[in-house]
Amino acid sequence: MPPDSLLFGLKTDGKNIEVDRRMATNLPRVYAAGDCTGAPYQIAKAVGEGLVAALSAVSDIDKMKNV
């Protein structure tokens, strides 16, 4: 399934979901990690990016609580 068909408006390069350093996509509170963000396709990369994405999501949730 092409990544741009997952969510309307999700920014991709045609094959991979584009993310920033926090693993955040261009859509608010949507994160991506691992193979869907591009090479190298290694489990260590996926685990590391997954951790960054989870910590980013928790940080964003905490910010929303304080609003």
pTM: 0.87
Report the C-alpha gap between 23 and 13 in whole angstroms: 15
Structural domains present in the chain = 3-65 (3.50.50.60)
Q: State whether the Cα torsion 49-52-58-64 is positive or negative.
A: negative
Give the pLDDT confidence of 7-22 residue by residue, as tens digits: 889 999 989 999 999 9
For CA atoms 26, 27, 28, 33, the dihedral sign is: negative
What is the average per-residue pLDDT within 30-40? Answer: 96
Kindly tell me if the per-residue pLDDT of 54 is higher than 90.
yes
Q: Predicted confidence band at 6 (pLDDT cuts at 50, 70, 90)? A: confident
Give the pLDDT of residue 48. Answer: 98
- Rg over alpha carbons for the chain, rounded to the nearest Å, is 12
Is residue 5's pLDDT more than 80? Answer: no
Sign of the torsion angle spanned by Cα atoms 11, 16, 20, 25: positive
Can you tell me whether residue 65 is helix, strand or coil? Answer: helix
